[in-house]
Amino acid sequence: MQLLIMGPPGAGKGTQAAKLATRYGIPQISTGEMFRLAVSAGTELGKQAKACMESGKLVPDEVTVGIVRERLSGVDCAKGFILDGFPRTVAQAESLKLILADLGKQLSSVLNVNVPMEELIERAIGRRICKGCGATYHIKFNAPKVEGICDACGCDLYQRADDTAETLGKRLRVYEASTRPLIEYYKAVGIYNEIDGRQPIEKVTLEIISILENRGA
């Protein structure tokens, strides 16, 4: 099962990818998360990514493609994977096709989570993330039992540096210009599925599972 979950910033890609990873026993590969880890570790990759992320721009394709190529050749990807936030340019999609071909694989399903702009802003601004296990919450739509504390591991929650109204506006513009064209790209490949991301989290998960398990992925 080689899955790609795509959608605009704050659509719920990470939330759904984590659930699918658990259900199917496959790794969630989030380029955004890989960059955030590199930034907090202060690595060379982190230094390259930091300025782009904080200004809402994309990290250059050659950097991003390089880390994905390495990650996909990991043994834990043999059974499948769920890509979250990669590719997000047509050039990245072309590179992905070549990387997978080298591994004797191809994408089995593309899931595009569709949410209107107004809701994206509320979702991103209210998002909180666990410092310990990375679990994602929302102050209104998916609140932890105790404010500011992770239900799963008890660590403090934090707000992402790029979840400000200003940076989010830039991320949304980058999405429209660079990532939205992937919808037509994957429709042409014939593996594209549209998901109604306005529904509550559990209903979105059920819609995705129904697509994957009824049609096969």
Q: Which residues bind ligand AP5 (CB under 6 A)?
A: 7, 9-15, 30-32, 35, 52-53, 56-59, 64, 85-88, 92, 123-124, 126-127, 136-138, 141-142, 162, 171, 197, 199-201, 204
**Is 13 an annotated catalytic residue?**
yes
Q: Which candidate in 160, 170, 180, 198 is catalytic?
A: 160
Please report whether residue 14 would count as binding Mg ion according to CB under 5 A: yes
- Are the C-beta atoms of 11 and 197 separated by less than 8 Å? yes
End-to-end CA distance of the chain: 6
Residue 41 or 216: the one with the smaller Cβ distance to ligand AP5 is 41
Which one of Mg ion, ligand AP5, none is in contact with 171 (Cβ closer than 5 to 8 A by kind)? Answer: ligand AP5
**Is 71 an annotated catalytic residue?**
no
Ramachandran region of residue 25, left (φ > 0), alpha (ψ -120 to 50) or beta? left
Identity of the residue numbered 93: A
Q: For residue 33, which of 23, 18, 51 has the smallest C-alpha distance?
A: 18
- Are the C-beta atoms of 53 and 162 separated by less than 8 Å? yes
**Is 97 an annotated catalytic residue?**
no
Nearest residue (beta carbon) to ligand AP5: 32
Which one of ligand AP5, Mg ion, none is in contact with 136 (Cβ closer than 5 to 8 A by kind)? Answer: ligand AP5
Residue 142 half-sphere exposure toward CB, CA atoms < 13 A: 22
Rounded to 10 degrees, what is the CA torsion of 70, 103, 25, 206? 110
- H/E stretch holding 29 reads strand 28-30
Q: Which candidate in 36, 71, 127, 128 is catalytic?
A: 127
Which of these ranges, 12-20, 72-80, 110-118, 201-209, lies near Mg ion under the rule CB under 5 A?
12-20
**Is 123 an annotated catalytic residue?**
no
- Least Å distance between CB 22 and ligand AP5? 14
Identity of the residue numbered 139: I
Which of these ranges, 14-22, 64-72, 91-99, 207-215, lies near Mg ion under the rule CB under 5 A?
14-22
- H/E stretch holding 101 reads helix 90-102
What residue ranges bind Mg ion (CB under 5 A)?
14
Catalytic center residues:
13, 88, 127, 160, 171
